[in-house]
Structure 1
């Protein structure tokens, strides 16, 4: 039986915009209200997907959310036709309106936490959509995310879906952005590392003071219970509050792992010696810990280039590649470190750079754009095949983008009722291309 780690990248939606909604995300805030290019963003994402497919990896596609979210605006008291709702919300509550237009679902590392069948008690692949309670604009996503995931992974023999955790900050869950699975080979039982920012029920524990800790310890333990994980294959580790306060809003901004490699910044965690010893023991002593010293790459450089918000993929046994944004290449200190890294005796042998500037400017790098799902060949065969990238699907999605996406979009354009109509037309066609059924609220009315 063969085993794979499939990256399901988020397809950038037709209303991709820079609303600057994410307090604690430096890149998002610094580019607030800039003019975006939905068409370029979608094509950059598709090009990265195609490049990974051409490397021999299995690559999937995850559909975006419907935006503007008319249904959320109606729940908040805006009435009348869709045009009336857009106009009133944009005029009377512009900040709320921009939040309901967020492009954030493109970062599918926040879509869910996934546990492979080799780790779970019932031998199924488990999915729990993230509730994303820390940010209003992201808290609108879980219901639709759950429907999309169930349409992609529909076979109950192999896949089990859970509802997102309660919508409360005590159980703030940011999905795979704070979860990394380690294993010696994808088909073998692994160890799942849950990284959290604070304890919700214990104020005596360390916590950041400037920016919010979005993931709680209590949420991480709840997901582990839902997925039927045992103490033998779970480790919990707290993110360093000081780096959260420097703009490290998720663990995947300061660390990335793949198979038996942990690539992380010196300042990433607290109590890491205990956690790393647990990882080493539970994985059988085969871990590679690669620490980047602060005096070589500062936290600020790591955040601005998203050195750790890179994908770490395996092309063949013992040969891993870092998929990095071009910002890493353009920063002299980060570029020099990466050049040095691939010359060392570690499984990381290459770095390949990709232009994902439309995503980077909105606060997400290559790792934000993908949800990792480890599957065996039977499970892969059970996945909706229209969500797996092929040459045909790549061509069809590019034509779909050319047909429906605008070249430029300003925040003022978000109130244009024609944009809502364009977006719904595009998404309705996308669900037919990807055979998803009626996953969007406008299709279910």
Structure 2
């Protein structure tokens, strides 16, 4: 790749649109915020507008921003597969009466957290010089297991050009290959156009002899396996010199850190992480230093500064870390960080005043997402693209002022302002959701990607 090509490489954050059935059902075991807010009344319209406003503000600040559509919900097809029959209304009514937990699952708007959509390797790092995509199987929870097929169709619809992009199959949906996508994957490098090292973080090992010193959490399940991370790396053609596999600290998982991106965030050469992020902290840092072409800049937050409770409640480490042209970095944090004194003090006195590239902190209100356990970093899938690859994207998915205006008007037309768990059985909600999604695919110009559109 020429110097000109390298200079045109940009990281694009593809945020997930909050879907029309956004609700608080408390489905995610190990996700403290999700469990604590289960049963509350949600505001889908506010959630979608909050997400769009975050995208718009980052676009206005000069960051490349993309959009990914939500899933088809409620997933009535999944209920039919599980033995419910009749009209759509009858299926919903019977599920509500006989298996309300299944109804809540098939109505989940969890695809808004596109950090779980898949794992991406940019063309700079791939042996065939193409961007590589693997949708995550999300097999550890039923409501997310329903997502990968549609996710794969969406990614193929947008990253369609086979000259530039390569799509891989979802890993087998078994506990041994439990894969949660980019929420457990971080690419570290100097500039985005330079070769990177891929940090894969896993919670447990499924096969073979457990590595020395490793142990599993006792309270909550570990969602990512070493075997899944290794398989994705193989699919993408990554070599041993390009990869680091590190176990997440099991005590962090038991404290509610269900994904690594709840306890660490990296971008460029910077790795911002909590003391309890990795079981072998020094070994992880040493291997990264050895394999990276540019010096690693670790920014460590000690336990004495931010407790595990504060880390999980504030989602400080689920912030977006964004690279600026002058070498500095901007940290986009949820408003909850201001509500925890220790966290806000750490941001001001330790991060901003510390010897690191983080020079600005921007606060965003994403409360509708946060109450279900997803902060700013959960809401985005990072894709590093050259100028030619950006030009090769299909559809109308890169955010502009015009697209923002259209999406905002679309939300205003189709979304409810109040949704309680009992409302999920309303057949009118299903009709409203399908009508909204059908219009959205036309607005984004991505073609038919939903089951109801494919027949």
TM norm structure 1: 0.99
**In the alignment, what sits opposite 2:199?**
193
Post-superposition offset of 1:136: 0.6
* Of 402, 422, 427, the match for 1:412: 422
CA distance in 2, matches of 1:436, 1:42: 20
1:383 to 374, 377, 393: 393
Q: Compare 204-213 and 19-28 and name the one that shifted more.
A: 204-213
Contact in 1 for aligned 2:202/2:245 (Cα 8 Å)? yes
Aligned match of 2:368: 358
Tell me the SS of whatever aligns to 2:186.
strand
Q: Which residue of 1 aligns with 2:13?
A: 7
Residue of structure 2 in register with 1:210 after alignment: 219
Question: Per-residue deviation at 1:97?
Answer: 1.2
Asked if the contact 2:190/2:294 (under 8 Å) is kept, the reply is no
1:126-145 per-position Cα deviation (integer Å, ceiling 9, x unaligned): 00000001001000000000
Residue of structure 1 equivalent to 2:340: 331
CA distance in 1, matches of 2:340, 2:310: 8
Give the aligned partner of residue 274 of structure 1: 283
Is 1:229 the counterpart of 2:238 in the alignment?
yes
Equivalent position of 2:356 in the other structure: 346
Cα distance in 2 for partners of 1:71, 1:202 equals: 38
**Partner in structure 2 of residue 128 of structure 1:** 134
Structure-2 residue corresponding to 1:287: 296
SS across alignment from 2:266:
strand
Residue-by-residue CA offset, 1:144-198 (whole Å, 9 max, x unaligned)? 0000011111100000011110010110000000000001011111000000000
1:244-283 to 2 correspondences below 5 Å: 244-283=253-292
Separation in structure 1 between the aligned mates of residue 452 and residue 117 of structure 2, nearest angstrom: 21
* 1:166 equivalent in structure 2: 172
Name the CA distance, whole Å, in 1 between partners of 2:160 and 2:112.
Answer: 22
Q: How far apart are the structure 2 equivalents of 1:189 and 1:179?
A: 16
Q: Which is further off, 250-259 or 265-274?
A: 265-274
Instruction: Tell which deviates more after alignment, 201-210 or 383-392.
Output: 201-210
Give the unaligned 5+ runs of structure 1: none
Aligned counterparts of 1:197 and 1:408: Cα–Cα separation in 2: 36
In structure 1, C-alpha distance between the alignment counterparts of 2:362 and 2:428, rounded to whole Å: 39
Partner of 1:257, secondary structure, is: strand
Q: Is the 8 A contact 1:55 1:315 kept in 2?
A: no
Unaligned 5+ runs, structure 2: none
CA distance in 2: counterparts of 1:442 and 1:19, whole angstroms: 24
8 Å Cα contact 2:189/2:293 also seen in 1: no
4+ residue segments displaced more than 2 Å: 202-205
Q: For residue 347 of structure 2, give the secondary structure of its aligned residue in structure 1.
A: helix
Of 84, 94, 113, which aligns to 1:88? 94
Deviates more, 1:66-75 or 1:200-209: 200-209
User: 1:49-198 maps to which residues of 2 (within 5 A)?
Assistant: 49-198=55-204
Q: What is the CA deviation profile of residues 26-66 of structure 1, one whole-angstrom value per residue up to 9, with x for unaligned ones?
A: 00000001000000000000000001101101100000001
Q: Secondary structure at the match of 2:324?
A: strand
In structure 1, distance between residues paired with 2:109 and 2:293 = 41
Query: Counterpart of 1:351 in 2: which secondary structure?
Result: strand
State which drifts further: 202-211 or 332-341.
202-211
SS at match of 1:403: helix
Give the C-alpha shift of residue 385 in structure 1: 4.7
Measure the CA separation in 1 of the matches of 2:208 and 2:303: 30
Deviation at 1:285, TM superposition (A): 5.0
Instruction: Please tell me the root mean square deviation across aligned C-alpha atoms, in Å.
Output: 0.9
TM-score, length-scaled by structure 2? 0.97
Name the CA distance, whole Å, in 2 between partners of 1:295 and 1:277: 23
SS at match of 1:286: coil
Answer whether contact 1:16 1:38 (CA < 8 A) is retained: yes
Q: Select which of 18, 33, 36 maps to 1:27.
A: 33
* Aligned equivalents of 1:214, 1:72: Cα separation in 2: 22
